Amino acid sequence: MGPIQLVIFDMAGTTIDDRDQKVLTCLVETARCYQLPGTTEELNALMGMNKKEVFLLLAERQAGARQDDVEQVAQQALETFITLMQKAYERDLVPIAGAEETFAFLRQRGIKVALDTGFDSTIGGMILERLNWLDRYVDCVVFSDQVSRGRPAPYLIFHAMEQLGVTNVRQVMKLGDSPSDLDEGSNAGCGEVIGVLSGAHTAETLGRYRHTRLISSVAVLPTLFTESEER
């Protein structure tokens, strides 16, 4: 593992516990509410993406959908999804075990820590406020509505780099639990693109996408750094 200046983590399923699949449940419920096409498995494959882009994609698949209708349905679906997620996180919102310790480990070594997410600033901001992560554990956060395109486009990563003054993408590590996380990291050209198995997808699924390694959880990340330092 080469020298790393910045580690960028996904949120739900990577640093936020999602073992009960809150995000997928809210996504499926919203799709059903607006009669949008897609099985649970198909919707799971879209996890990690900008949710407005997900609903646009689903609305475009509706037979005979006009563009004006697509935009309207996607916006309404997004608002419903945000409401459902807010209610879900008000009931239960906890970090992945070991996530905060991993953040602290990296920052103690002078490595910058960022979060990026398919959530917009409403949901993502709620998470940050509830957990009090910004500045305490995390140097910056990039939400999906702060860039022109979400994952798998690399812009979330580039925006984090710009905010934190990191210029060499080969010194950036990206971690996430979804195919769109891995594609995002690969499209950006990150030096390390790591899939974590604590969220929505299995090793078999993530293994089909370009990555440098797969790990069980962000909690084991410090071990990778210490092993690299000992070599």
Which residue range forms the structural domain that includes residue 46? Answer: 22-91
Percent of the chain with pLDDT over 90: 89
Whether the pLDDT of residue 63 is over 60: the answer is no
The CA distances from residue 230 to 75, 199, 209, 213, 224, in Å, are 51, 30, 29, 19, 10
Tokens linked to 204 = 């078999």
pLDDT bracket for residue 130 (50, 70, 90): very high
Rounded CA-CA distance 134/128 in Å is: 7
Indicate if 155 and 127 belong to the same structural domain.
Answer: yes
Indicate if 129 and 146 belong to the same structural domain.
Answer: yes
Residue with the bigger pLDDT between 38 and 112: it is 112
Rounded CA-CA distance 93/99 in Å is: 13
Specify the pTM: 0.93
Half-sphere exposure of 90 (CA within 13 A, CB side): 6
Report pLDDT digits (tens) over 150-197.
999 999 999 999 999 999 999 999 999 999 999 999 999 999 999 999
Report the Cα 26 to chain-centroid distance in Å: 16
Q: Maximum CA pair distance of the chain?
A: 60
Tokens linked to 77 = 């679906």
* Mean pLDDT, residues 66-91: 91
Report pLDDT digits (tens) over 4-58.
999 999 999 999 999 889 999 999 999 999 999 989 999 999 999 999 999 999 9
* 1 in a structural domain: no
Rounded CA-CA distance 225/231 in Å is: 10
Give the chain's domain count: 2
> Looking at residue 64, what is its pLDDT?
63
67-91 and 51-60 are packed helices; what angle lies between their axes, rounded to 10 degrees?
Answer: 140
> Looking at residue 65, what is its pLDDT?
63
CATH number of the structural domain spanning residue 206: 3.40.50.1000
* 180 in a structural domain: yes
Percent of the chain with pLDDT over 70: 97
pLDDT bracket for residue 228 (50, 70, 90): confident
